[in-house]
Amino acid sequence: MAVVADQPNVDLREPPSWRRTKNRIMTWLMVLAFVLVVVPLGFVLFTVIAKGASVISWQFLTADIPINVMPANVGGMGPAIVGTIEITALATVIAVPLGVLGAIYINEYGGKGLLAQVVRFMADVMTGVPSIVMGLFIFSIWTLHYGFSGLGGAFALACLMLPIVIRSTEEMLKLVPDSLRQGSYALGATKARVTMTVVLPAALGGIVSGALLAVARAAGETAPLLFTILTVTTVNKNVFYGPNTSLPSQIFANASSAFTGAQARGWGAALTLIVIAFILMIVARLVTARFARYSS
């Protein structure tokens, strides 16, 4: 029978307490980081919902914007909602096709070439350009010549959305397996046909989802619109001509006001804006989930 080799003190219990404690402290610090993130988020959402809900009504969503001194139950944010919708929609129509095409260039045509690398790098850099600079840019080349309009605002928002759409689309295109392309080429298709009929449909869900997130970002932007649409309080159904307004613009204007009525309307507008952004985000996630089911 073999002799069991043992040592005077085979102690397999916990390591020295200072090591265990340090490990535990660091873990709790990481959890603290999460808590510190959740707290302001919860705070803001709670405040917006609490203060905004009392103001929201069908009348609020459709009525005209009154002057600031008016109490909270007068008027609403109708023109701002109309403005947000039409300006953001116009910006989307400009930015998304251009962004998708740009991503197609980088991923499908540019390949490893220097130009494609430069374009991709600069698209990344462009996502970091402050939104107010985009506003100043469009002011310089458009508004000074053609006046304030929703179109100018849309251009500024489109500049903001373009690099975002390019990068997210490019990531989606990269995921499309090369075998799909090879199969299409082998059938004699041209590159354009391969891209439009095989690659794009395969990546479509991800592209749409990425575009929706860019739209959500644009809908919430104020700075690019400051000098391009000239925040007014009347509704302007013509997005191509004449000053306009948007939800973020109104919130910005009302936030600096001393009147409680204006502030209350600001909270209502903020709630509306958050709801819009959240809906877009949720739809984007749904699209991603549905897309994942169809791919692979």
Partner 1 sequence: MAKADPAVPAGSAHPLSRRRPLGDRVFAIIALASGLLVLVILVLIAVSTSQQASSWFTTEGLTGVFSTTWNPGKNQFGAVAFIYGTAVTAVIALIIAVPISLGMALLLTEVVPRRWSRPIVYVVDLLAVVPSVVWGLWGILVLAPWLQGIYNSIASGVNGIWLLGTLFGGDNISGASFFTAGLILAIMITPIVTSLTREVLATTPNIDKQGAYALGATRWEMIRGVVLPHSQGGIVGSVLLGLGRAMGETIAAALVIGSSATITSHLFAPGYSMPAVIANEFGEASGEFRAALMGLGVLLFAFTIIINVIARGVVERSARRSRGA
Partner 2 sequence: MEQPEQDTVTTNMPQPEPLARQAAEPATTGRLIFDVRNVSIWYGAFKAVADVSMPIYENEITAFIGSSGSGKSTVLRAFNRMNDLIPGARTEGEMDYRGVGLYGKDVSPITVRRRIGMVFQKPNPFPKSIYDNVAYGPRINGERNKAKLDEIVERSLRGAALWDEVKNRLKMSGLSLSGGQAQRLCIARTIAVEPDVVLMDEPASALDPIATGAIEDLMRELKSKYTIVIVTHNMQQATRVSDRTAFFYVLTDSKSDTRTGILVEHGTTKQIFEDPQDSRTQAYVTGRMG
Residues near partner 2 (CB under 8 A): 2-7, 10-16, 19
292 binding partner (options partner 1, partner 2, none; Cβ < 5 to 8 Å by kind): none
Are 172 and 203 in contact by the 8 Å Cβ rule? The answer is yes
Q: Say whether 242 sits in a helix, a strand or coil.
A: strand
* 243 φψ region: left (φ > 0), alpha (ψ -120 to 50), beta (else): beta
User: In the range 211-270, which residues lie near partner 1 by CB under 8 A?
Assistant: 216, 219-223, 226-227, 230, 248, 251-252, 254-256, 263, 266-267, 270
Q: Give the max Cα distance, the chain.
A: 100
221 binding partner (options partner 1, partner 2, none; Cβ < 5 to 8 Å by kind): partner 1
Q: Give the closest residue to 201 by CA, choosing from 238, 176, 165.
A: 176
User: In the range 83-112, which residues lie near partner 1 by CB under 8 A?
Assistant: 98-99, 101-102, 104-106, 108-110
**What residue type is 205 in one-letter code?**
G
Residue 136 found at the interface with partner 1 (CB under 8 A): yes
User: Binding string, 44-83, against partner 1, x = CB under 8 A?
Assistant: xx-xx-----------------------------------
Residue 200 found at the interface with partner 1 (CB under 8 A): no
Q: Please, what is the minimum distance in Å from the beta carbon of residue 45 to partner 1?
A: 8
Q: Please, what is the minimum distance in Å from the beta carbon of residue 41 to partner 1?
A: 5
16 binding partner (options partner 1, partner 2, none; Cβ < 5 to 8 Å by kind): partner 2
Question: What backbone torsions phi and psi does residue 294 show, to the nearest 5 degrees?
Answer: -85, -25
Q: Please, what is the minimum distance in Å from the beta carbon of residue 4 to partner 2?
A: 5
- In the structure encoding, which two tokens stand for residue 295, read together? 């791919």
- Quote the Cα angle for 267-271-138, to 5°: 85
Neighbours of 170 (CB within 10 A): 26
The nearer residue to partner 1, 101 or 180, going by C-beta atoms, is 101
Within 13 Å of residue 107, how many CA atoms lie on the same side as its CB? 24
